[in-house]
Amino acid sequence: MQPYLFPYLGYYQLVSAVDKFIFFDDVNYINKGWINRNQILQQNEAYRFTLPLIKASQNRLINEIEIADFVKWRKDFLKQIEFNYKKAPCFESIYSCLSGLLFSKEYRLVSELTADSVRVICELLELPTQFEFSGRLNYRSEEAQDGESKILRICEMLGAQNYINPKNGKELYDVQHFNNRNIALNFICMDDIVYRQFQGDKFVPNLSIIDVLMFNDIKQTKELLNKYTLN
């Protein structure tokens, strides 16, 4: 999967379901996608935050694109989190986690920050999954041109027996092509999940993992990670 910025719960369900997770960082950037943006809760509505980038284009690879004024964005983002979640039950610990990540280094590349935003939450949730970057794997060849062939090549290089993809991959991947390589193909689908936010009678779904963690402790969040089907 492409590395996303503090992605939604379903992304972490995929991470938790596998032994090894590959950040697909040497593919083209997706304009208006979720690589550098996500949603949090603001006044009981979904609010989109965005990490500004320098010359982001679908003609460039994700791992080539730089962040625009990271220091200013970090300051504004943390203020935004504090303003919207300071009364949430788990605010103190999660804000400390976010602040610790964002002050751990002066991030330059979007691929580095997005990947670390995934990994730091996985560490918090004690997920043992191993991470790799596709850009650091020598998988490209004349045979590995389209998305499916690239995935198959990486699976074979890493000795994978099972490849798991989000449910929307059903339109992209052919089960038989994987079976021909002795690789099982499964698709993960998140259950309908509801948890209590500020306004108890209204739930805003599919927000960043930040929202989940602000209202659910580690034990509760781990329980939510298991609410999916695999087929």
Residue 141 pLDDT > 80, yes or no? no
User: What is the percentage of the chain residues whose pLDDT exceeds 70?
Assistant: 98
- pLDDT band at 171; cut points 50, 70, 90: confident
Q: Are strands 66-67 and 53-54 parallel, antiparallel or unpaired?
A: antiparallel
Of 211, 226, 215, 212, the closest CA to residue 81 belongs to: 211
Whole-number average pLDDT of the chain? 95
Q: Where are the alpha helices (DSSP H) in the chain?
A: 9-17, 70-85, 91-102, 110-124, 147-157, 175-179, 209-215, 218-225
Which residues, in sequence order, are CB contacts of 27 under 8 Å at separation 6+? 2, 61, 62, 134, 147
Is 139's pLDDT higher than 90? no
d(CA 115, CA 106): 14
pLDDT of residue 29: 96
Residue 45: per-residue pLDDT: 96
Question: How confident is the model over 120-136, as a mean pLDDT?
Answer: 96
Q: What is the mean pLDDT of residues 35-44?
A: 97
- Stretch 68-74: mean pLDDT, rounded? 97
- Residue 117 CA, distance from chain mean position: 8
Q: Where are the domains of the chain?
A: 9-230
DSSP 85-133: HTTSTTHHHHHHHHHHHHTSS---BHHHHHHHHHHHHHHHTT---EEEE
pLDDT of residue 143: 64
- On whether the CB atoms of residues 179 and 187 are closer than 8 A, the answer is no
- The 10 Å Cβ neighbour count of residue 25 is 25
144 pLDDT above the threshold of 60? no
pLDDT at 147: 80
Q: Provide mean pLDDT across the span 134-138.
A: 91
- Residue 147 CB coordination number (10 Å): 13
User: pTM of the full predicted structure?
Assistant: 0.95
Which structure tokens are listed for 160?
A: 């994978």
Distance CA 98, CA 74 (A): 10
* Residue tagged 């794997």 (tokens): 137
Does the pLDDT value for residue 148 go beyond 80?
yes
pLDDT digits (tens, 9 = 90+) for 83-109: 999 999 999 999 999 999 999 999 999
